[in-house]
Chain A
Amino acid sequence: MSSAIGDMPIRRKLSMSILLITGFALLVSTATFIAYGWFSTAGAIRADLTSLGNVVAKNSTAALTFDDRDTAQEILQALQARPAIEVACLYRVAADSTEGLFVSFVRANRNDSCTEEPATGSAETLSLSGLSLQLPILLGEEHIGSLYLRQDLQRLWQGVGTSVLIGVAVMVGCLLLSLVMTSVLQRVISDPIANLAGVAKNISSSGDYSVRAQELGADEVGQMVGAFNDMLEQIQSRDEELEKAREQLLGEVEQRSLANRELESTMADLRNTQQQLVETEKMASLGGLVAGVAHEINTPVGVAFTAASMLSGEAVTMGAAFRNGQLKKSSLEEFIHVAEESSRMILGNLERAAHLIQSFKQVAVDQSSDEVRSFTLGDYFSEVLLSLRPKLKKRAVEVIMDCQEGLVIRSHPGAWSQILTNLVMNSLTHGYEDGDEGEINISAQNVGGKLNVIYSDDGRGMDEATRKRVFDPFFTTRRGSGGSGLGMHIVFNLVNQTLGGHVKLESEPDAGVRIEIVVPIREDESSER
């Protein structure tokens, strides 16, 4: 029921409430009118009957006093002229003080009669059938009789009937009038609301926020329309701002993506450069190697050269003595001794130089190429260390190798030489001060099909911040004094990419460094030799 009312159009709600209120007000006023009519008519009838009763009572005093029935009857008969009076009874107090019926008047066609004695009790009774009245008749102060009158209520009912008729007529008329007026007046209220609702519906279905509702007045609905329009205004401007912001955002995104592309190309350049730098660093270490090798070869070649020079000089001296015939046996014996000694020296030193060149050549070739071959790891590490001897010779740091006997692997020897060189050079550069004594341990084991290389020194170690970034490219603690920041990065790259393994570094300040390299061993490695 309530939802049915709630679903009704405002127009009908308004009509309904106005009609209900009007109807109720009319009903109440009509009821009041009828009730007032009833009571006032009843009051008037009562007053009329009372005054009539008083007149009759007064008139009949003499008749009662002088026991004159005829006159009394005449007096009552006069009531014939009052059609409302149904019954009139006159009682007389006799000489013995008893009160009995004296004369009576009953209208024709009324089946009624008087009681033989006057009723005791209320003097006046109003019932639906009629109004009765009993009056004492006094002469002076003496009670000489009673008058009983009863009147029908035709006048009252007629009055009420008329009232009801008028009330209903007024009610119907007013309701019709208010119906007409409501249909006109409600438009003043409902039309703006319906208009607003229509506009709102339109906007929500079309999405066109440029539409405006029509303001028809400054009342609450008008204010609502104004507020609605303001809201539309705000939505519209917000939409526009949103559109603007969206466009701006699109532009920004475009700019950003442009910048991103630039950044990407920059990154690519940087990576390129890094690669180049790594290569350069490799080459630089190769250069270092060459310098070491040259230095190493210089000594035996120099000794051989001196010995050869000395032998040459002695040979010239011996040759001149022989042609002069001054060759003595002792001189010859001395020359032979020198020659033997020199030859042996030259031979030994040249052999040594040749050996050095041979091994350096291998390392240098490996370092400059990515060739894969089988080699004995211990021997190869020894050759690499040999190339580092010029650096190690100046320092009090001892390198101890502990490689598994006969461990042959098939791998990138250049990568390993590079790794070992970088690790040793890092230890020498960062781990120890000049003149510090130290010990570097290198071990290599085949553990469960994997090559496990452990490199450790007992140098100064590093703090956590350094350790965390130790593999980052270009990270160095010695930027000003020739560190490139690429050494450990190259180690990391070689282990991870070239060798397909992984590297782990443990270190604490003043506790040295421990580096574990684990790489897979290829299947054909052990069968090689």
Chain B
Amino acid sequence: MISLSTVIHWRSWKRPFSKRPFAAVAIAILMGTFSAQLLAADNSTEYRIKAAFLFNFARFVEWPDTKFVSATSPLQICIYGSDPFGEILDETVRGKSVGDHPLVVLRIAKIDELKSCEIVYMADTESARFATVIAALKGSNSLLVNDHPDFINQGGMIRFLIVDRKLRFEINPDAAKREQLKISSKLLQVAKIVADES
């Protein structure tokens, strides 16, 4: 598994890499196929981090008791629309649980089926249907996560963004409150807080 720090370092190398092409070439030659894989894996690395974040959100957010069917029922992370994670998310949450709730990853196509999900991740490709989905999930106490800049303004709760080449996220506490989600202050501490744009 490639660590987050590796990603970060890799990113921080980007600049010196360009300034010192000889070294970069040398390293690339030395590392051979491995370097090529790393570069090729750029996209997947980002999603690994996102997958880890998704899982970790589950640990800093409290859902109302009514959200779960039972005390041991699974915590469902649902991906709506096209799936950018592939196997990565499944690998990340495999065998993990939050409290007594084991984590499962579901890929959902129908909006109605999203209502039982604790966390709903919508790919950017679905940005046209954000409002519809958000409206449909109103009152279902689901944590909505997305990458799109407009998402958080339309009622989403967490949005990923890149700051200084690091993956960060914004939180709209008001939106979470509306869905009776308790977001840990610690999570708020590390997040960028945004308010509703009324």
Cβ B5 vs Cβ A62 within 8 A: no
* In the bound complex, CA of A499 to CA of B186 (Å): 158
A110 to chain B, nearest CB (A): 27
Complex interface residues of chain A between 378 and 402 (CB less than 8 A to chain B): none
Cβ contacts A to B, 7 pairs, < 8 Å = A58-B186, A62-B190, A66-B169, A67-B8, A95-B2, A96-B1, A140-B99
Q: How far, in whole Å, are A140 and B58 apart by their CA atoms in the complex?
A: 11
Known: A59-B186, A140-B98. Is A65-B59 also a contact (CB below 8 A)?
yes
Count, chain A residues at interface, CB 8 A: 17
B47 on the A face (CB < 8 A)? no
* A140, closest chain B residue (CB): B59
Q: How far is the CA of A358 from the CA of B99 in the complex (A)?
A: 181
> 0/1 per residue, B1-13, Cβ < 8 Å to A?
1111110100000
Q: Is the CB of B52 closer than 8 A to any CB of chain A?
A: yes
Cβ–Cβ < 8 Å partners of A96 in chain B: 1, 3, 6
Known: A59-B189, A95-B3. A139 touches B59 (CB 8 A): yes
Residues on A with C-beta less than 8 A from B169 are 66
Total residues of chain B contacting the partner, CB 8 A = 22
Q: CA A100 – CA B169 in complex, angstroms?
A: 24
Which of B3, B53, B166 touches A94 (beta carbons < 8 Å)? Answer: B3
Q: Is A63 in contact with B98, judged by CB distance below 8 angstroms?
A: no
B187 within 8 A of A: yes
A68 at the interface (CB under 8 A from B): yes
With A59-B189, A71-B190, A94-B5: A66-B98 Cβ-Cβ less than 8 Å: no
Task: Compute how far the CA of A68 lies from the CA of B4 in the bound complex, rounded to whole angstroms.
Answer: 11
Establish whether residues A62 and B189, one from each chain, have CB atoms under 8 Å apart when the complex forms. Answer: yes
Q: Verify B190–A68 contact, CB threshold 8 A.
A: yes
Complex A-B, nearest 4 residue pairs according to Cβ-Cβ distance, in ascending order:
A95-B3, A62-B186, A68-B190, A94-B3
| Measured CA separation A66–B186 after assembly (Å) | 10
What residues on B are CB-neighbors of A94 within 8 Å? 3-5
Q: Which of chain A's residues 129-178 have a Cβ closer than 8 Å to chain B? A: 139-140
Convert A331-344 into 0s and 1s, putting 1 for each residue whose CB lies closer than 8 angstroms to a CB of B. Answer: 00000000000000
Q: What's the minimum C-beta distance from B50 to chain A, rounded to whole angstroms?
A: 11
9 additional contacts, CB 8 Å, given A67-B8, A68-B168?
A62-B184, A62-B187, A62-B190, A65-B56, A67-B5, A94-B3, A95-B52, A139-B56, A140-B98
Q: Which of B5, B59, B187, B189 contacts A95 (CB 8 A)?
A: B5
Q: Which B residues contact A (CB, under 8 angstroms)?
A: 1-6, 8, 52-53, 56, 59-60, 98-99, 166, 168-169, 184, 186-187, 189-190
**Residue pair B60, A62 in contact (C-beta under 8 Å):** yes
Once the chains bind, are B5 and A63 in contact (CB under 8 Å)? no
- For the complex formed, measure the closest distance between the CB of A138 and the CB atoms of chain B, giving whole angstroms: 11
Known: A62-B184, A95-B52. A71 touches B98 (CB 8 A): no
Q: Which residue of A lies closest to B187 (CB)?
A: A62
**What residues on A are CB-neighbors of B190 within 8 Å?**
62-63, 65-66, 68, 71
Report chain B residues within 8 Å CB of A68: 168, 190
Report B162 CB to chain A, min CB distance, Å: 13
- How far, in Å, is B99 (CB) from chain A's closest CB? 8
* A421: interface (CB < 8 Å): no
Most buried by A among B6, B52, B190: B190
Indicate if the CB atoms of B56 and A66 lie closer than 8 Å: yes
Chain B residues with CB below 8 A from A100, complex form: 5
Closest A residue to B186 using CB positions: A62
Cβ of B186: which chain A residues have Cβ within 8 Å of it?
Answer: 58-59, 61-63
Pick the most buried of A61, A66, A96: most chain B CB atoms within 10 A of its CB.
A66
Name the distance in Å between A419's Cβ and chain B's nearest Cβ: 160
How far does the alpha carbon of A94 sit from the alpha carbon of B6 in the complex, in Å?
A: 9
Residues of A contacting B98 with CB < 8 Å? Answer: 140
Q: Report A-chain residues with C-beta under 8 Å of the C-beta of B99.
A: 140
Report the separation of the CA atoms of residues A68 and B190 in the bound assembly, to the nearest whole angstrom: 6
Chain B proximity of A144: nearest CB distance (Å): 9
Contact of B166 among A67, A139, A140 (CB under 8 A): A67
Q: In the complex, which residue of chain A has the Cβ closest to the Cβ of B184?
A: A62
**Nearest residue, chain B, Cβ from A68:** B190
Complex interface: chain A residues within 8 A of B56 (CB)? 65-66, 139
Cα–Cα distance between A65 and B190 once the two chains are bound (Å) = 10
Contacts of A63 in B (CB 8 A): 186, 189-190
Taken together as a complex, chains A and B put the C-alpha atoms of A422 and B53 apart, in Å, by 170
Residues of the B chain whose Cβ atoms lie less than 8 Å from the Cβ of A75: 189
Question: How many angstroms from the CA of A71 to the CA of B163 in the assembled complex?
Answer: 14
The closest CB in chain B to the CB of A70 belongs to: B190
**How far in angstroms is the closest Cβ of chain A from B72?**
15
> Do A71 and B4 form a contact, CB below 8 Å, given A66-B53, A140-B59?
no
With A62-B184, A63-B190, A71-B189 as known contacts, state yes or no: A95 contacts B60, CB within 8 Å: no
CA distance A210 to B173 in the complex (A): 110
Assembled-state Cα–Cα distance A100/B6 (Å): 13
Chain A residues in 8 Å Cβ range of B184: 62
What chain A residues lie within 8 Å of B187 (beta carbons)? 62, 66
Closest CB in chain A relative to B143 CB, distance in Å: 15
State A94–B98 Cα separation when bound (angstroms).
20
Q: How far is the CA of A525 from the CA of B98 in the complex (A)?
A: 170
Within 8 A of B (CB), among A91-139: 94-96, 100, 139
Q: Which residues of A contact B60 (CB under 8 A)?
A: 62, 65
Complex interface: chain B residues within 8 A of A58 (CB) = 186
